[in-house]
Structure 1
Amino acid sequence: TNVPTATPAPVVSSASSQSPSHAPQNEQVSNAERGALHALLRGIHHLCECFGIPYMVAQGTLLGAMRHHSLVPWTGDAEVAVDYSYIPYLFVLSLLQTS
C-alpha cells in the first residue's frame, strides 16, 4: 500500500521567536506612550486587587508577558480580561473615580 507521508513542519526555536525581526516596521511606540500604558495597567491591577476583582492579561498583552517579560515592544495597546459578572462593579468604580 502507498501511504502518503507528511512533511514535518520546520522547528522554530524559542530564541528566534523572540527576535525583533517579528516587529512591524511601520509601528513605533514612544517611551512616553509605553510609560502611560504601564501606568494604566498598574492602575487596573491596583483597582482589581483592592476590590477583589479577578482579572488577567489577554491576547497580545499575554504574549508580550510571556515572550518579552513586558509589553510587546512595538504595541500601543493592552488587553485585560475580566469576568462579565464584574463589569457592573468596574462601571461603578469608574464613575466614583471621575466624580
Structure 2
Amino acid sequence: MSIEIITTEELQEKLKKGENLELVDVREDEEVEFGMIPGAKHIKMGEIPANLDYFDKDKEYIFICRSGRRSENVCYYLQDQGYKVRNMLGGMLDWSGETK
C-alpha cells in the first residue's frame, strides 16, 4: 500500500493558512538542533514504537526527516498499525520555510 505524501510547498501553504497540523520530526537530536518546522513534535525514529500512545487514530500526522526516507519508513510502520499518515517529500533538505 502506498503512502500519502505532501510536498514542502504544500505544507508551507497549509501552515501559512494557519491550519492545525500534526507534524512529527523523526530525526536525531543533533539534526534537529539546526532547526525544526515550528510546531513539529520531535520523536526520534527509533522511539516511535515506544510512543504509539502519543498518536490518535482520528488525526492525520505528517512525518518529517532529513531527506524523506526515514519518515517514509515510519509512515509504513504506523500505517500498518492503522494510523493516518503522510510523508513530507524531500525532507528538511527541500524545506525553505521557517525553522526554529
As a proportion of its length, which structure holds more helix?
Answer: 1
TM-score relative to the length of structure 1 = 0.23
Structure 1 or 2, whichever has the larger Rg, is: 1
TM-score relative to the length of structure 2 = 0.23
As a proportion of its length, which structure holds more strand?
Answer: 2
